[in-house]
Structure 1
């Protein structure tokens, strides 16, 4: 059967809000995406997401067959683990500039973005009452200690095997920088193996612990493995009233935390905390930065980032 692609904007500019929301990146070029790469479109033309390592945001104008960026993306600046994740990030950043053709496959519902020989394919994420953010990726908290592990130190994918043995069949391969659910580790044949699963929950299998390490809060937040999700009061715009904004939080020791908030315009803001105190936000506005501040009111951190306001209760950072 011939695959037919139609332009999103061929449906008319008014149809754009139907495509607003977050999409999971499936392919970057011909390669399966590593980690949890995403791209989101807001009705005001804002484009944001994750490369599987760093988060990005930008502004685009939608025309008759695609989107046009007039300046580079603003991005966080974490070092990406592994060459595959770094290569993926470089490709996504190179794609999302100038003019990008946007097409929709009406049979699969997949979104295709292309510019020259660069491309990515994405699938729509399901709508959730919490704005697309789910604690523990929508599953029970993993039983292992630590509950989440990150793959590291490999140029090639790490095999998840059916049994804790290098001779067992490989069920899947995961790239360095991928967060896995830890269902428990034990020794087998003199080698320590961990029972793991992707954030999707399947396949469940085994991987040697020498290529696994505790997944840091920033890595987990970038891939949506939150400890808790709910809403907090936030506002965007000088004098704008507060509204409930969905958030997800990854908690670290001693009051350290990474909080991802989805603003009213659909763009996400990442807030960092150390020892229970606000320490900064994700980089924004390439070439300019932003002004941020924090004050305390009882058990609330009142945070400003440019014209944005956030009220973060201590219970978000510490639980309870």
Structure 2
């Protein structure tokens, strides 16, 4: 008799608990499904190259971190920035949040980033009084860590317009010294390098870049586009807007604006 009482009591508990568990299940499963991140893998890089994670969706935005091919990241969504798709990502190793070109991520997150305005630099209100103008822009302007004040009548500029303005400023400094972003070694961040231009007509020119640690590299332009260099290594380039992003061999990198080659 005692054994039967225990069995009936256990069955009664099970019958009471089952509806409660079934009612709670729909609330638990969607919560976990919604929290599942969209994972993308870094791909399409040149040998020994690293992918820049930038603070702003711009090829000359501040570099927050660099990722190797095969790295897995959380893809928060992808937006079209002036005709170029960029994705906002989060990385755990190294710990960073920022933007990368969509072409280096597989698969792509079809969602968009709703808070894009927060990542796009906007003009700040003008203040009374005038500040001193630096003789030449330094690298911080190119990296996007500062914004220029504007009058109330000035419309906020797009990320592409600000990026181009920064690149123009670095290329044509006030004292006449020409500088371009460059890097010589694998994994080395871009830094300002002194340069000079020898124009050979309206659309041909040679840009001579002097490395900070000594030595030079000559890059030839034909029809306004990068054509070759004096190095015996593989030469290739890509363009975003009016910016030429040049790679020579496995490590050398340059960013040269059209205005440097063609003039004003």
TM-score, normalised to structure 1, is: 0.31
The structure having more radius of gyration, on CA atoms, is 2
Name whichever structure is richer in helix by fraction. 2
Q: What TM-score comes out, normalization by structure 2 length? A: 0.35
